[in-house]
Structure 1
Amino acid sequence: MIENQITERIIGCAIKVHQNLGPGLLESAYQECLFYELKKAGPKVQKEKPLPLIYEEVKLDCGYRMDLLVEDTIIVEIKSVETLNDIHLAQVLTYLKLNDSKIGLLINFNVLQLIKGVKRVINKYKN
């Protein structure tokens, strides 16, 4: 599956979750439901995948975890906040760098229309 098809499928599943649950729940509820929907839809998906930090060639487990990793390439970071801000974007960019991934989705479920809460994030340093 190519990246655009994967992100399209993820967003479709997220919209389904949002239509069923609406805004206002905890991030963990949306994460579980989106994980379930993605598993039903078919792509390989991992939840709470550990993300080690490499510092001076030493692999350190600092407790970072990606909300979802789809097809070993797309990082999905789930939020349920009033407004996405720069620190949320920085988090996804850092995860992209640490995982050596190109594309991430930052999804805020605490909106009336989910499409307004979806941000596609590109690691411009990854080919």
Structure 2
Amino acid sequence: MQKTTQMTENEISKIVFEIGLKIHRKLGVGLFESIYEECLFYELQKTELKVERQKFLNIQYEDLLLEKAFKMDLLIEHKVVLEIKSVDVLNNFHAAQLKNYLRLGNYKLGMLINFNSQLFKNGVKRIANGLNELK
């Protein structure tokens, strides 16, 4: 495997997708988000990737520092934010939530993963923040 600090967001997202697919195949749909998150964290820890779980994000508003303003489900290599869901349908709020994490944390790629989708690939949405090559 490549040295992880040099991995691109795209390379990381491919690994995440494969691990997510494995978990989806083994567990199926209909479980709580926390179960899928725990399994993703477990599987990602077995790779050489640096993974942080329930990572707080501080934001600055003018002279005001808002500590622990948001809590991201998983952050990989300080580059890719994962937002895990287990819902009937992803909606605009879910995407907006992840876009805010990316914008306010200055991250370039996020993945919104809904494990409650019958076909795993239909439950995965990539959201880029200023990365033209991730179209």
1:3 shift after superposition: 1.4
Tell me how many residue pairs correspond in the alignment: 127
1: CA distance between counterparts of 2:129 and 2:122? 21
What are the superposed Cα offsets for residues 49-79 of structure 1, whole Å, 9 maximum, x if unpaired?
Answer: 0011211132212541110000100000000
1:43 shift after superposition: 0.8
1:126 shift after superposition: 9.1
2: CA distance between counterparts of 1:126 and 1:62? 30
> Are 2:59 and 2:104, in contact at CA under 8 Å, matched by a contact in 1?
yes
Q: TM-score, normalised by structure 1?
A: 0.94
2: CA distance between counterparts of 1:108 and 1:63? 23
Query: Does residue 1:113 correspond to 2:119, yes or no?
Result: yes
1:15 shift after superposition: 0.7
**What's the counterpart of residue 4 of structure 2?**
none
**What's the counterpart of residue 86 of structure 2?**
80
Match for 1:30 among 11, 33, 36? Answer: 36
2: CA distance between counterparts of 1:17 and 1:125? 28
* Percent of pairs with identical residues: 46
> Are 2:44 and 2:51, in contact at CA under 8 Å, matched by a contact in 1?
yes
Runs (4+) of structure 1 moved beyond 6 Å?
none
> Are 1:103 and 1:122, in contact at CA under 8 Å, matched by a contact in 2?
yes
**What's the counterpart of residue 9 of structure 1?**
15
Q: TM-score, normalised by structure 2?
A: 0.88
1: CA distance between counterparts of 2:132 and 2:8? 16
Structure 1 regions of 5+ residues with no counterpart?
A: none
Query: Does residue 1:53 correspond to 2:59, yes or no?
Result: yes
AA of the residue aligned to 2:62: E
> Are 1:101 and 1:126, in contact at CA under 8 Å, matched by a contact in 2?
no
Q: What is the alpha-carbon root mean square deviation over aligned residues?
A: 1.7
1: CA distance between counterparts of 2:61 and 2:51? 27
